[in-house]
Structure 1
Amino acid sequence: MEKKINLLAPAKINAFLEIMGRRSDGYHDLKTLFIPVSLYDKIELDLISDGIKVFCSDEDAPSDENNLAAKAARLFFERTGIESGLEIRIEKNIPVAAGLGGGSSDAAAVLKGLNSYFGAPFGIRELCSMGLGLGADVPFFIHSVPSYAEGIGEILAPVEKMVPYEVLIVNPGVPLSTAEVYKNLNLGLTKCKKENKYPALNQGLCDIKEILCNDLEISAMSLCPVIEEIKAYITGQDADGVLMSGSGPSVFGLFSDADKAKKAAGIIKANTKWWACQVEMILGPYGFAA
């Protein structure tokens, strides 16, 4: 059998993120709309005799047992009892600590890749349960379709009707700790309207540009003021909507016209030091398998 497994791990954006309140376990209940996009980390798995080794192209990401991809592999082998080692090579194209879910996506890709290679010992629900122990976003990446999420992000429902947009993602090159953003959060300043948007979203009754909101923006901006500058810059490029993704500091702009998105990306790359990438939303296939 071929011992190498090649995987793609997509990034995500949050079209809205409402923080409902802090839980007794330290996490926060939330409502969010996850959308996977066509920006990928490339992962190569190579089965070896023993040990788990990680080689990552981005020095800001851990290249040891603290990497979520390594934790995912260790968890899979522990749960299955399979005696094998693994070499993980990650070509990082998703910025690190950027609100785009790169680490969680890598972990999900490793779980799914190993599960497929070894004959699918786990179903989707089992993989999601395993992934949740690694990170709140991992279950979403197990599915990797537009999803409305509640709880800490693990209660998922697919959103099947969505107006597609070209997406421009801009990152200032400054990592921002999710834990610090939540620690700095003042729940009294949250502004997103607390309601269940899933019915309207799933029936195609609302355009995502009309619901863009992120309760973590104020906290993130106080720690990383350039976020506000990036939002203004993208807005000035005639975007249909602009929002910070996740806990930041990445900001995305929605464009109904691909040429406008391409032009905006070129202008930002030519006139700033920010990282910019034009991507597409990944829509479907839908339906969550048991």
Structure 2
Amino acid sequence: MSDVLTIHTYAKINLILRVSPPTSEGMHPIGSWMHSIDLSDIISIERIEDSASEFDIRWSDGESVQWDIESDLVYRAHTIFEQHSGERFPVRVRVQKHIPAGGGLGGGSSNAAGVLMALNELSGSRFSEQQLQEMAHEIGSDIPYFIDLESFNTRKPARPAIVSGIGDHIERTQRVKSGITLLIPNFGCPTGMVYRAFDDRSDHAPFDLSAIQQAATSGNLEASSIINDLQEPATNVVPELKAIMQRLQSIGVHPHLSGSGSTMFVIGAMDAITRSRIGERIPELRIIETRLV
């Protein structure tokens, strides 16, 4: 009988994201408080014998994704796992995607981490968590956050963490309970261009990692504590995002940006009147009620 694993891979938001200017290698050191949210993709992985691996990646409505499978982080995670294993590991992978792409929610990174941990389980847990994080970092700096074997082994979302360095230093923190309302435009933000716009600014100031640690340790979700150094660069790169944020503010909604955008969020549930106002004035904006998990 074939071994089959079905897992949920959860999105994240950046409750805090501080960014430093790039290093000589072109990497941006960060300090971020990341927290998983109750929005997930579903992945099934089946080990197969004597055959080429198969990948079927679709949206929840059944439509195939709009990019080449070979460029998807699920495919690349499988490739890097085989490279580190030193042998072929043929599988059949099916992904049902619910997390919007290109929105700063880490959907692709979460998928890749889930595949790495699932392959590791199917192969007899040959790699440690640190080894999995190191191979994950080879294909994406956000992916190591999602490598959390303690949570994966009980099929829970990755624990929140303070992520620093170039995504390679992860300090797990306690989970925080709160509702979250996501505000999702019908466009994404080009991450590379957002970081270049950040680099063009002349007002870079060093951030205090201890302040991030204090906020995460205390579970402080006050608006004044939620900071994203990429919010202004993202709105400069994508004027449509700036316009939507201004329209939201005009009806009393003050959103925060996750990652490099374009997904915005507010802490807590949103009342029916506010939802109705958004629906009337910004009908293209998708609203998802979720929670920190």
Task: Name the TM-score class by shorter chain.
Answer: 0.7 to 0.9
The 3 A distance-change label for structure 1 pair 74 and 19 is: same
CA contact (8 A) 1:54 1:63 kept: no
SS at match of 1:214: coil
Distance (whole Å) between structure 2 residues aligned to residue 22 and residue 71 of structure 1? 25
The residue type equivalent to 1:210 in the other structure is S
For 1:118-267, what aligned pairs fall within 5 Å after superposition?
118-143=123-148, 144-160=158-174, 162=176, 164-185=177-198, 186-190=200-204, 193-204=207-218, 206-232=220-246, 234=248, 242-255=255-268, 258=269, 260=270, 264=274
The 3 A distance-change label for structure 1 pair 118 and 16 is: same
Distance (whole Å) between structure 2 residues aligned to residue 54 and residue 63 of structure 1? 11
Unaligned 5+ segments in structure 2 are 149-157
CA contact (8 A) 1:234 1:253 kept: no
Q: Which residue of the partner structure matches residue 292 of structure 2? A: 281
The residue type equivalent to 1:277 in the other structure is I
Distance (whole Å) between structure 2 residues aligned to residue 142 and residue 120 of structure 1? 13
The residue type equivalent to 2:183 in the other structure is V
The residue type equivalent to 2:145 in the other structure is F
TM-score, normalization by structure 2: 0.84
CA contact (8 A) 1:15 1:245 kept: yes
CA contact (8 A) 2:31 2:212 kept: no
SS at match of 1:109: helix
Q: Which residue of the partner structure matches residue 2 of structure 1? A: 2
CA contact (8 A) 1:50 1:84 kept: no
Distance (whole Å) between structure 2 residues aligned to residue 84 and residue 224 of structure 1? 41
Give the CA deviation at 1:281. Answer: 0.4
Distance (whole Å) between structure 1 residues aligned to residue 184 and residue 94 of structure 2? 24
Q: Which residue of the partner structure matches residue 43 of structure 1? A: 43
Distance (whole Å) between structure 2 residues aligned to residue 161 and residue 182 of structure 1? 29
Distance (whole Å) between structure 1 residues aligned to residue 82 and residue 273 of structure 2? 46
Distance (whole Å) between structure 1 residues aligned to residue 41 and residue 271 of structure 2? 22
Distance (whole Å) between structure 1 residues aligned to residue 219 and residue 74 of structure 2? 38
The residue type equivalent to 2:27 in the other structure is Y
The residue type equivalent to 1:245 in the other structure is S
Q: Which residue of the partner structure matches residue 287 of structure 1? A: none
Give the CA deviation at 1:227. Answer: 2.4
The residue type equivalent to 2:283 in the other structure is T
SS at match of 2:108: helix
The answer as to 2:69 corresponding to 1:56 is no
The residue type equivalent to 2:21 in the other structure is G
The residue type equivalent to 1:50 in the other structure is S
The 3 A distance-change label for structure 1 pair 221 and 187 is: same
The residue type equivalent to 1:140 in the other structure is Y
Give the CA deviation at 1:84. Answer: 3.0
Further displaced range: 81-90 or 139-148: 81-90
Deviations 1:62-113 (A, max 9, x none): 3421111111111112222343322222111111111111111110010011
The 3 A distance-change label for structure 1 pair 195 and 116 is: closer
TM-score, normalization by structure 1: 0.85
SS at match of 2:130: helix
The 3 A distance-change label for structure 1 pair 203 and 36 is: closer
Give the CA deviation at 1:211. Answer: 1.0
CA contact (8 A) 1:61 1:67 kept: no
Further displaced range: 230-239 or 202-211: 230-239
Give the CA deviation at 1:264. Answer: 4.7
Distance (whole Å) between structure 1 residues aligned to residue 15 and residue 231 of structure 2? 13
CA contact (8 A) 1:191 1:215 kept: no
The residue type equivalent to 1:8 in the other structure is H
Give the CA deviation at 1:192. Answer: 8.5
CA contact (8 A) 1:97 1:177 kept: yes
